[in-house]
Amino acid sequence: MRSVMYCFFTFVVFAAPPAFAQDVKPALKIEARLFHSRTGFFSEDVLAPDAPGLGNVIIGENASSSAIVIVRINTTPALPTNTKLRLVAKETSTNKTTANARVKLRKLLDSTVTVPSTAADNTPVYIGFWLSDVGCMQVALKANLTTAGAVSATASATLDFLCYE
């Protein structure tokens, strides 16, 4: 009886399709790189844990007033062809220098793109969004991945820009 149960258990575990793999949801990761106006090069990821602060990035040797936001999509199983990625970038008023001032906050970007078909082969996909005229106000970033009309993954980050003038 014991060997019959062992055989049955082995058959169920190894013969059953991995149903849990189908339940894995996509994961999003947001990166941001400053575009250096004087050199034409991009910085390292300014959202990385060891990234330098973003104070006064509009001046100096690596002056920057624009950035590229990169959303990495990791997914298994493959995404359907109608999958959309939306990124919203809004200025926020949590800077100490602007908290008491009357500052008109702007929506810098609200863009939705179709995820490229390269996401169909279960490999990471990167999608870039350009932000212009940044540098002194914090920017809240929110990414939503939508499949079949329903949000299947979200990610958010904050670019902690600050100017000391």
Give the model's pLDDT for residue 20.
37
Single pTM value for the model: 0.79
Q: How far is Cα 61 from Cα 46, in angstroms, rounded to an integer?
A: 16
Residues of the chain with pLDDT under 70: 1-24, 94-102, 119-122, 165
Give the model's pLDDT for residue 2.
56
Q: E strands within the chain? A: 27-36, 54-55, 64-74, 84-91, 107-114, 125-132, 139-147, 150-159, 161-162
Other beta carbons within 10 angstroms of residue 98's beta carbon come to 18
Q: What is the torsional sign of CA 120, 123, 124, 126? A: negative
Give the model's pLDDT for residue 116.
85
Note the CATH architecture for domain 27-159.
Sandwich (2.60)
